[in-house]
Amino acid sequence: MVTSLLSSDDLQQARALIEESGLSFDPPFDDMVGIFQGRRLVAVGARQGRVLKMLVVAADHQGGSLLDEVVTELVGRGFQNGIDSFFIFTAPGHATSFERLNFNLLVSSGKSALLEYGDGLRRYLARHQPLVLPGHNGAVVANCNPFTLGHRYLIEQAAASVEHLYLFVVREEKSLFPFDCRFRMVREGTGHLENVTLLDTSCYAVSSVTFPTYFLKDGDPGGGIQMELDLLLFASRIAPHFHIATRFVGSEPLSQTTAAYNAAMHRVLPPLGVGVRELARTERLGAAISASRVREKLCRKETAGLEELVPESTLEFLLSAEGRKIWQKGVPT
């Protein structure tokens, strides 16, 4: 029987079993479950959001259905918590054990494979099928937290050089401005461009699944492999669906993580048929325009000079009652 692992003795056994298998005990998690034989823990697994992790079956109990039982329990509990698609990162050699359970291999690089249960990527692409246009299309993936003149410049330049531009706004709720506000600012700031289509990234680009360290401050050792999978997924599954031949990105003089992501883009995308064009950032008042510069100003409750950095539509939002409520809390950038 699968049970929750809650007591300190349970967790100690879980840690030992996980570390014995060569994985590391990796909190935090929303759920951790396991199977006991007598008093000995013989199988364990955990779920953090949409990601299943630390799945281990004791060496002398492998080959049965223990893994299936643990995953069933984690998926069932996750579904009750509103999650309809689940991810596993594993070594490419272990991918088939999960494919047996109806996980789909999304992408695999040298060291790591990403699998999904719940068919979410196919459903995401199917949902956006009406937006698919033929031609030589381009893409921008951006968080727009908030939407700045820098974003607008990048999007205008990109839109002018392709038949159709898909603008993917990061869906993840890990930013100062909630997704629906960011999406609205982008829609209002790009309404003048006829060949631009807005859509959300769901969890398939720059999300806490594909690229969790994007939302952390600079410097995470595991981030390199992650961003590579994020980009491989984009190039192999998303770009072909929307006929995207070029991904546009602003140069990154400020954030280390984003600069590394840009560098990875140049390395990963072109061999898979997606060109990368990096455009120099617009400068205002002696420095590149960036959303973080806007957030720093807002953090200091400084609204003078915002019009140098953001378009009128964003400014209007920032100064509205709804916008003020978000930044006047004084949330750090």
Applying CB under 8 A, the residues found at the interface with another protein are 65, 68-69, 71-72, 75-76, 79-80, 84, 100-102, 104, 117-119, 123
- DSSP letter at 236 equals I
Min. distance of Cβ 114 from another protein in angstroms? 17
Q: Which is nearer to another protein, 126 or 272 (CB)?
A: 126
CA neighbor of 274 nearest in space, from 234, 311, 308, 314: 234
Structure tokens at 306: 């915002």
Q: Which is nearer to another protein, 34 or 212 (CB)?
A: 34
Q: Which is nearer to another protein, 72 or 161 (CB)?
A: 72
Q: Which is nearer to another protein, 65 or 333 (CB)?
A: 65
Min. distance of Cβ 1 from another protein in angstroms? 13
Q: Which is nearer to another protein, 7 or 80 (CB)?
A: 80
CA neighbor of 302 nearest in space, from 273, 333, 278: 333
Q: How many residues does the chain have?
A: 333
Structure tokens at 151: 């974003």
Cα 62 → chain centroid: 33
- For 244, list phi and psi in degrees, rounded to 5: -85, 120
Please give the C-alpha separations between residue 286 and each of 39, 299, 302, 308, in angstroms, as whole numbers: 66, 20, 18, 11
Min. distance of Cβ 300 from another protein in angstroms? 44
314 and 185 Cβ atoms separated by less than 8 Å: yes
Min. distance of Cβ 122 from another protein in angstroms? 8
Residue 117: CB atoms within 10 A of its CB come to 21
Min. distance of Cβ 103 from another protein in angstroms? 9
User: ∠105-108-113 over CA atoms, to 5°?
Assistant: 70
Gap between the Cα atoms of 232 and 111, Å rounded:
13
The distance in angstroms from the start CA to the end CA of the chain is 46
Min. distance of Cβ 62 from another protein in angstroms? 15
Min. distance of Cβ 79 from another protein in angstroms? 5
- For 320, list phi and psi in degrees, rounded to 5: -75, 165
Q: Which is nearer to another protein, 81 or 328 (CB)?
A: 81
Min. distance of Cβ 102 from another protein in angstroms? 4
Q: Which is nearer to another protein, 47 or 247 (CB)?
A: 47
32 and 14 Cβ atoms separated by less than 8 Å: yes
Min. distance of Cβ 11 from another protein in angstroms? 25
CA neighbor of 255 nearest in space, from 213, 222, 221: 213
What is the enclosing helix (H) or strand (E) of 292?
A: helix 291-299
Q: Which is nearer to another protein, 117 or 211 (CB)?
A: 117
